[in-house]
Amino acid sequence: MTKKKESKWYEVLEPSYINECLCRAGEIVQYDGEAGENLRELSDKEVRAHMKMDQTDEPDVVDLDAREADLNAREDDINDREKKVVADQERLDLALAGAEERAKDLDAREAVIAAREVAVVDKPKK
């Protein structure tokens, strides 16, 4: 019966392809194969320190607040642009309605003028 290889923790010393993943220098990986010169085996103490650091790493509250403020500013900008577009569309609709009304008035005047011209041409001479 063969003994199953135990995975060990390593620090990646140079960019490497490990466990079907491209790893950057400085990353900590678990690997059960033969380690080459690109990996440095970590002691149990280093592994525990790394695990503890991973558990205590929390996103920087200041960064989250800054991101939220930036997103709120972007959202306000989008809302302002949307309001401007709606207002512009309403102005265009009113202008179009006014233009259509003026066109109807002009057509009516032209019809009256055309009717007068026809009446003048058809008027018998004495």
Which DSSP category does 126 fall into?
-
pLDDT reported for residue 39:
93
pLDDT tens-digit map of 78-122: 999 999 999 999 999 989 888 888 999 999 999 888 888 776 666
The H or E element that residue 121 is part of is helix 61-122
pLDDT tens-digit map of 2-58: 455 678 899 999 999 888 889 999 898 988 888 899 999 998 888 888 877 766 555
Q: Read out DSSP for 2-23?
A: PPPPPPEEEEE-S-EEETTEEE
Which among 16, 11, 18 has a CA at the least distance from the CA of 41? 11
- The 3 state secondary structure assigned to 18-80 is ECCEEECCCCEEEECCCCCCCEEECCHHHHHHHHHHHHHCCCCHHHHHHHHHHHHHHHHHHHH
pLDDT reported for residue 126:
59
Instruction: Indicate if the pLDDT at residue 61 is higher than 90.
Output: no
| Phi, psi values for residue 42, rounded to 5° | -95, 145
The domain segmentation of the chain, as residue ranges, is: 8-56
Could you give the C-alpha distances from 47 to 11, 55, 66, 72, 115, in angstroms and in order? 10, 12, 33, 40, 100
